[in-house]
Amino acid sequence: MSIYEPPKPSVPTGTQTTTRFCLVRHGTTDWNQENRIQGATDTPLNGQGQMEIGRLAIALKNEGWELVVTSDLQRAAESGRIIGQELMIPVFSHRELRERSFGPLEGLTFAEIKAKYPKGSDHLALPGLESRRAIEARAMATMGMLATVFTGRRVIVVSHGGFIRAFFRAGLGLERRSPANGERVVVVWDGRWQLVEGGSRNDG
């Protein structure tokens, strides 16, 4: 993967058009409840997840959001459809919003991974395991592309915990957890990335 350079403002920071993003973590799945690593495994929302996203969609009404872009994994795609239907705005899918791939770790519980790899998994070179550097580069490239394509718009992005955490690190310089399932944060691009509101607990 090539190293991404963020969009370069043609005017001083803070004076160009602001593009606003509502970053949403998909609703709960059975694997979330079982504390299993999902990664690229295509797990669906469960009933709790559908209700979480339904509540969030209602809260997002009347905020001026114009469109939804989701990961193509079904837990995010279904979350995006629920939001789009409630807000009556178009929904698009983009594969690069997918969760970090964890290769052979997918399906394992956090306890199982900790027992097998007590020093953590980030240093491992496992088949199919997307490195921390790679997911950060992908998160920056993807969000930069969306900021360019949708300049000046208000966009809901439905993705995953690992993707959002990677963007926090690479784009905002923050080491923090992702929103909980069915929760959101708001960021803006106006020549640099800024966190506006939100952020919560939870991993996975």
Is 75 contained in some domain? yes
- The arithmetic mean of pLDDT across residues 186-198, rounded, is 92
Catalytic residue among 26, 52, 106, 160: 26
Is 6 contained in some domain? no
Whether residue 4 is predicted with pLDDT greater than 90 in this model: the reply is no
What is residue 126's predicted lDDT score, i.e. its pLDDT? 86
Is 96 in the active site?
no
What is residue 19's predicted lDDT score, i.e. its pLDDT? 97
What is residue 201's predicted lDDT score, i.e. its pLDDT? 37
Is 35 contained in some domain? yes
Q: The tokens of 35 are what?
A: 């504390």
Q: The tokens of 31 are what?
A: 């694997």
What is residue 191's predicted lDDT score, i.e. its pLDDT? 93
Is 11 contained in some domain? no
CATH number (domain holding residue 103): 3.40.50.1240
Is 153 contained in some domain? yes
Catalytic residue among 52, 78, 99, 136: 99
Whether residue 9 is predicted with pLDDT greater than 70 in this model: the reply is no
- Strands (DSSP E) along the chain, which ranges? 19-25, 67-70, 91-93, 154-159, 184-189, 193-198
Taking only the tens place, the pLDDT of each residue in 89-144 is 999 999 999 999 999 999 999 999 989 888 776 767 788 999 999 999 999 999 99
Average pLDDT, the chain: 89
What is residue 116's predicted lDDT score, i.e. its pLDDT? 87
Is 154 contained in some domain? yes
What's the structural domain count of the chain? 1
Whether residue 43 is predicted with pLDDT greater than 70 in this model: the reply is yes
Taking only the tens place, the pLDDT of each residue in 72-95 is 999 999 999 999 999 999 999 999
How does residue 10 score in pLDDT terms, banded at 50, 70 and 90?
Answer: very low
Tell me the residue range of the domain where 167 lies: 19-198
Residue among 138, 141, 192, 188 at smallest CA distance from 163: 138
- The arithmetic mean of pLDDT across residues 36-58, rounded, is 98
Residue 170 burial by Cβ neighbours in a 10 Å radius (0-12, 13-18, 19+): buried
Is 99 in the active site?
yes
Q: The tokens of 171 are what?
A: 């784009």
What is residue 198's predicted lDDT score, i.e. its pLDDT? 62
Is 47 contained in some domain? yes
CB 166 within 8 A of CB 141: no
Whether residue 23 is predicted with pLDDT greater than 90 in this model: the reply is yes
pLDDT > 70: what percent of the chain? 87
- The arithmetic mean of pLDDT across residues 192-200, rounded, is 77
Taking only the tens place, the pLDDT of each residue in 156-182 is 999 999 999 999 999 999 999 999 999
Whether residue 185 is predicted with pLDDT greater than 90 in this model: the reply is yes
Is 99 contained in some domain? yes
